Structure 1
Amino acid sequence: MVSSSDLRRQLVRYAISGGALTLFYSAVYWIAAVPMAIDALVANALAFVATVAIGFVVHSRWSFAGHGRRDRPVRAWSLFLAVNLAGFALNSFWVWLIVERIGASPSWPLVPIVFVTPWLSFYLNRRWTFGG
């Protein structure tokens, strides 16, 4: 059983590292989609590729340090990739809905990309990727 202080530490570490990774993802997306005028869904894919490997290292070594098992790194990487592909799909949905369907600026999907997707990723990574 994880104590509430362990959970708080993980949340703080995740907020710091996940926040930095989300800002990096957002910057790559925004630079590609707005000033460079690359298609928003392509910009989203570029941001995903640029962030996913860095995210695994940061989250496995710091955000979730001491939580769960670490004896099966290939399994952890596979689960992390699956969780992040789900996050990528969710972010792609936000981009499609807001830019392609509604016709808003490519900047607007950053709102749910920053405030919704990271918390879903935290939950899935904590329970599934690094939890057991």
Structure 2
Amino acid sequence: MELVRPHHRALFGQLVRYALTGGLASIVNIAVYWIGRDRLHIDANLAWTAGFLGAVTVGYIVHSRWSFRGHGRRDNLARTGGRFMVVSLISFALNSLWVWLFVQHFGLPTWAPIPLVLGVTPLAVFALNRHWVFA
């Protein structure tokens, strides 16, 4: 009798690869932001947006080739790329909501939205990527 079904093992592998890729995308986002702001002295919001776009690009390439390998099809770049961008914007908006709700609306400390940013948003985005973008 098998303790872990192959489907669950594949799902767990996707989740681990997704988390590692998300970490890489976050490093890209922060690095581009930091260099833009600190070294190039550009507006903070512009630097953050550039970092976000860099992270989305890296995220799409690595997620489509590694995180979700063997899952779904990749025959239409416009379809998957467009859907990935929509999901990325949902992620951006959801994280912005957590920050606004906890910090600006409720007046909680700066760190208050971080558990949701690191926990809820990535799981929601993983589900959207798995079932809609890379299905």
CA distance in 1, matches of 2:108, 2:10: 41
CA distance in 2, matches of 1:5, 1:63: 14
Partner of 2:20: 16
- Shift, 1:23, TM fit: 5.5
- Shift, 1:102, TM fit: 2.0
Task: Please tell me the residue identity of whatever aligns with 1:19.
Answer: G
Task: Please tell me the residue identity of whatever aligns with 2:24.
Answer: A
Q: Which has the higher contact order (CA 8 A, sep 6+)?
A: 1
SS of equivalent to 1:67: coil
Task: Please tell me the residue identity of whatever aligns with 1:113.
Answer: V
If you compute each CA radius of gyration, which structure gives the higher value, 1 or 2?
Answer: 2
What is the Cα-based RMSD across aligned positions, in Å?
3.2
Assess if the C-alpha contact under 8 Å between 2:73 and 2:134 holds in 1.
Answer: yes
Give the one of 95, 98, 111 matched to 1:94. Answer: 98
Partner of 1:77: 81
Paired positions, count: 124
Give the one of 112, 115, 124 matched to 1:111. Answer: 115
Distance 1:48 1:98, change over 3 A: farther
Assess if the C-alpha contact under 8 Å between 2:25 and 2:56 holds in 1.
Answer: no
- Shift, 1:11, TM fit: 1.7
Structure 1 length normalisation: TM-score? 0.74
Partner of 2:39: none
Structure 2 length normalisation: TM-score? 0.73
Identity %: 42
